[in-house]
């Protein structure tokens, strides 16, 4: 087999009250080129000194978890996905590893099997499901079996991402979460997620998106890590835009809306000189791809 090229979309998780269960894939990509066999694994990348370049790299670890008999190769990573910014940087590496192991080992894994493997590695299924299927995905994982259902999103929807220069580790962000929450708070939060998904599945996005802003599972406890969340949401509301949420564990803030409205929002946010970048992203409706050369 010649070169293999795997491309995995970035993902955004925790839409509204869909903590660890609802994710979206975007046109922002993590690409891995699988090159010649080596005596030892070699991962070439420009992701910073903290990312290993040998068998400790998450891509390689994922490959070997799927198939420990895969021979070492040289891998070259080209990524637009920022590390530790709530856009699925670890998920892209995991999914790339699953795809590479499946190809090199001639395993013929189904998408369902790939989702289950990714969920087992990550502990939840929404990000790997979105990365593999594209679009928006609702999922559940009981520790053994993951179930995922994709919901097609219209072409005129996109997301404005406010990406802070400083990242937040998922470990630090998870530490902010309470061990228990009030029953009525949980019922309210889960019911808003149910209504959001029901409206979205019927294509009623204008009615669905306000429900993204009603989370009680994680945003109230993480807001101090990302003070810009309320600021962006307030400005969006003045423009009639609803659908702003904390992406994944943060610190990226996402706003889903019509792309024309997102352009208006970006102009307004540029006026207040936020300490970060603003990017409008299209929805990826294909998911992870693999091709050989």
Q: Each residue of 146-188: pLDDT tens digit?
A: 999 999 999 999 999 999 888 777 777 888 899 999 999 999 9
CATH number of the domain encompassing residue 166: 3.30.70.890
Average pLDDT of the segment spanning 14-41: 95
Return the pLDDT at 174.
81
What percent of the chain stands above pLDDT 70? Answer: 99
| Same structural domain, 110 and 211 | no
Return the pLDDT at 175.
87
Give φ, ψ of 146 to 5 degrees. Answer: -105, 140
pLDDT over 60 (residue 131): yes
Return the pLDDT at 1.
55
| Same structural domain, 207 and 238 | yes
| Same structural domain, 133 and 174 | no
| Same structural domain, 124 and 169 | no
- Poorest-confidence range of 32-36, 48-52, 90-94, 164-168? 164-168
| Same structural domain, 173 and 144 | no
Give me the number of domains the chain comprises. 2
Average pLDDT of the segment spanning 39-43: 97
Band (275; pLDDT cuts 50, 70, 90) = confident
| Same structural domain, 250 and 211 | yes
| Same structural domain, 9 and 126 | yes
Return the pLDDT at 250.
81
Segments forming the whole domain that contains residue 230: 157-282
Return the pLDDT at 273.
87
Cα dihedral value 208, 212, 217, 219, nearest 10: -170
Average pLDDT over all residues of the chain: 94
| Same structural domain, 23 and 114 | yes
Return the pLDDT at 293.
61
Q: Each residue of 77-90: pLDDT tens digit?
A: 999 998 878 898 99
Return the pLDDT at 236.
98
């Amino acid at each position: 087999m010649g070169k293999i090229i795997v491309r995995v979309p970035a993902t955004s998780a925790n839409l509204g009250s869909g903590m660890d269960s609802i994710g979206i894939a975007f046109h922002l990509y993590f690409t891995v080129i699988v090159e010649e066999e080596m005596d030892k694994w070699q991962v070439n990348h420009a992701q910073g000194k903290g990312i290993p370049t040998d068998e400790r790299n998450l891509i390689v670890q994922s490959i070997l978890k799927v198939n420990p008999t895969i021979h070492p190769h040289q891998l070259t990573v080209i990524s637009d996905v920022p590390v530790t910014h709530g856009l699925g940087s670890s998920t892209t590496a995991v999914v790339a590893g699953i795809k590479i192991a499946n190809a090199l080992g001639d395993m013929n894994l189904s998408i369902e099997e790939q989702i289950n493997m990714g969920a087992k590695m990550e502990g939840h299924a929404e990000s790997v499901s979105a990365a593999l299927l594209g679009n928006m995905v609702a999922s559940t994982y009981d520790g053994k079996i993951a179930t995922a259902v994709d919901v097609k999103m219209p072409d005129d929807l996109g997301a404005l991402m406010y990406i802070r220069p400083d990242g937040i580790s998922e470990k630090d962000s998870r530490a902010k979460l309470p061990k228990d929450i009030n029953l009525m708070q949980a019922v309210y939060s889960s019911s808003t997620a149910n209504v959001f998904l029901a409206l979205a599945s019927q294509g009623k996005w204008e009615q669905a998106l306000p429900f993204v802003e009603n989370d009680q599972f994680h945003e109230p406890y993480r807001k101090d890590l990302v003070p810009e969340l309320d600021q962006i949401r307030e400005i969006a509301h003045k423009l009639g835009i609803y659908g702003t949420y904390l992406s994944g564990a943060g610190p990226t803030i996402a706003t889903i809306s019509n792309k024309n409205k997102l352009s208006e929002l970006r102009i307004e946010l540029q006026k207040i000189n936020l300490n970060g970048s603003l990017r409008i992203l299209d929805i990826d409706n294909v998911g992870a791809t693999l091709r050989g050369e």
